[in-house]
Amino acid sequence: MERKRVGGGPVKLELGMESGFGNPLGRNGILTWVIFLLWWAWTGSVDCLLGRIPGVPLPEKPSTEDLTEIQNWKWNARKAKKINQERHSLRCDTEIKLSVARKMKDEEGFYYPHNLDFRGRAYPMHPHLNHLSSDLCRGVLEFAEGRPLGKSGLRWLKIQLANLYAGGVEKLSYDGRLAFVDNHLDDVFDSADNPLNGNRWWLTAEDPFQCLAACINLSEALRSSSPHTVISHLPIHQVSV
């Protein structure tokens, strides 16, 4: 198995929360929109994505002295506390990721130093915002140096979008995944043009923020008079066959 990419070079993170968003289909648009939507989700509009859900209320202690009811109350209280602790941890983790993203937003590009383990596997040293982390992190990272899509790149961009949507689509043949994307081009364009108030098709993906970034990049390419020459900065995971 081999991993290839459409773009190359150092990683670049572009945010636009403080400076306005401009054209969502332009060079600065992909990650600008994605980071805005991360903020939008974090403020409570997409609770299911980032865990910003009200805490589970603790059950009241029963007034009875029945041992069975008291034991059930203890189990329910312990379960509620565990859920609240997990959600608090998720909120803190998200806050850190967004904080790092804001601090890096003005950099033209940056590299990730890596550690190698005894097997030769490389792991990024930065723990909070890296390309091996969650969909939230991967959705705001791209290569600083883009490359033209070309015929092969446009095809793999569609396959990447199908893989990110998942839900069984990623198990189809390559032709099946290409057909899936072609059959949902209206949803792709709607997600790119109106991610907040449209039909929010991208939110039904298993990796929604990466899916949105791919939708915007694909929309830009397909609307171009020369799709194969559009510069892409997205990482594409490709399997050699």
| 3-state DSSP assignment of residue 182 | helix
16 assigned to some structural domain:
yes
For residue 174, the domain's CATH number is 1.10.287.280
81 assigned to some structural domain:
no
60 assigned to some structural domain:
no
The CA R_g of the chain, rounded to the nearest whole Å, is: 21
pTM: 0.71
> In this structure, are residues 206 and 164 in contact, taking their beta carbons and an 8 Å threshold?
yes
- Number of folded domains in the chain? 1
92 assigned to some structural domain:
no
CA-to-CA distance for 210 and 207, rounded, in angstroms?
A: 6
**Residuewise pLDDT in 10s, the chain (241 residues):** 333 344 445 554 433 323 223 323 223 333 545 555 565 555 554 544 544 556 788 888 888 888 888 899 899 999 999 988 888 888 888 878 878 877 777 777 778 888 888 998 888 888 888 888 888 888 888 888 888 998 888 999 999 999 999 889 999 999 999 999 999 999 999 999 888 888 889 989 999 888 999 999 999 999 999 999 998 888 876 554 4
Domain that holds residue 200: 8-51+105-232
143 assigned to some structural domain:
yes
157 assigned to some structural domain:
yes
